[in-house]
């Protein structure tokens, strides 16, 4: 659901917060100097974070694979007089953007809907300037061990799958066809080696980390979401 005009007005006054994960607001310190920063809201359509960051003074580009989600950003921009660049595309392919185009990439929980996450980190590293920041949220992989029918609305947790998880290969043919017929998104449970190790492999330096909760019964035992702040370091020999 897109943010309302009151949230945009508050952001223009400097009163704003956004989330990478379901509940916990991201520390403003993670953004560095936001006013005038070139921000890529990566797979972040929906009229939520992108418009808030634009109202707070950033120059924001929203890239998403869903025309309907981008339409929500357009609705907020037109309603509240914001400037947003809207791009339809895949999070794994940022070839339309040149090297070192952005100061900040804001990537909320979205890469659980693609089979391979490491290409995302490599592309993020390329399009960020040196000293640029990648803020990313993701689902903890342990969530995908359990029968999806038991993940919500029940206290019963049944270990049913192994990691890494992928709907197309982990579900039975009948389960997969039902998921598709119901219009549900296909999900992929990436390991921490891919989520965090992949950022390090791409060249990032990890500067921040936190965990968050959702409405899953599993949250009684472990926080089911996490977020990272990673920075693209300056070239060797520079400060």
Tell me the per-residue pLDDT of 84-102, one tens digit each, with 9 for 90 and over.
999 999 999 999 999 999 9
Per the model's pLDDT, the better-predicted residue between 70 and 220 turns out to be 70
Paired with 38 in beta bridges are 59
Judge whether residue 238 has pLDDT over 70. Answer: no
Say if residues 23 and 213 touch (Cβ distance below 8 Å): yes
Q: What is the pLDDT of residue 152?
A: 52
Mean pLDDT of 190-203: 98
Paired with 226 in beta bridges are 138, 211
Q: Is the pTM above the cut of 0.75?
A: yes
Rounded distance, CA 113 to CA 28, Å? 27
Closest CA to 101 of 50, 39, 41: 39
Q: How many residues does the chain have?
A: 239
Closest CA to 117 of 228, 37, 23: 228
The residues, any chain, with a CB within 8 Å of residue 4's CB and separated by 6 or more, are none
Q: What is the pLDDT of residue 4?
A: 98
Rounded distance, CA 105 to CA 140, Å? 20
215: pLDDT confidence band, cut at 50, 70 and 90?
Answer: confident
What would the two tokens of residue 148 be? 């999806």
């Amino acid at each position: 659901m897109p943010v309302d005009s009151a949230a945009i007005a508050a952001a223009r006054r400097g009163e704003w917060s956004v989330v990478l994960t379901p509940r916990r607001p991201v520390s403003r310190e993670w953004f560095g100097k936001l006013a005038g920063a070139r921000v890529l809201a990566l797979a972040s359509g929906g009229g939520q974070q992108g418009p808030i960051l634009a109202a707070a003074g950033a120059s924001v580009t929203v890239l998403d694979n869903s025309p309907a989600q981008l339409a929500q950003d357009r609705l907020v921009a037109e309603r509240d007089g914001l400037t947003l660049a809207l791009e339809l595309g895949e999070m794994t392919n940022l070839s339309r953007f040149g090297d070192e185009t952005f100061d900040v990439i804001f990537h909320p929980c979205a890469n659980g809907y693609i089979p391979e996450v490491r290409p995302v980190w490599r592309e993020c590293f390329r399009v960020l300037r040196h000293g640029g920041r990648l803020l990313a949220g993701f689902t903890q992989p342990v969530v995908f061990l359990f029968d999806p029918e038991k993940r919500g609305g029940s206290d019963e947790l049944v270990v049913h799958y192994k990691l890494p998880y992928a709907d197309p290969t982990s579900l039975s043919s009948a389960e997969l066809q039902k998921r598709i017929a119901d219009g549900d998104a296909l999900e992929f449970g990436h390991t921490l080696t891919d989520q965090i190790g992949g950022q390090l492999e791409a060249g990032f330096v990890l500067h921040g980390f936190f965990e968050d909760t959702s409405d899953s019964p599993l949250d009684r035992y472990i926080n089911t979401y996490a977020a990272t702040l990673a920075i693209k370091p300056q070239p060797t020999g520079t400060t």
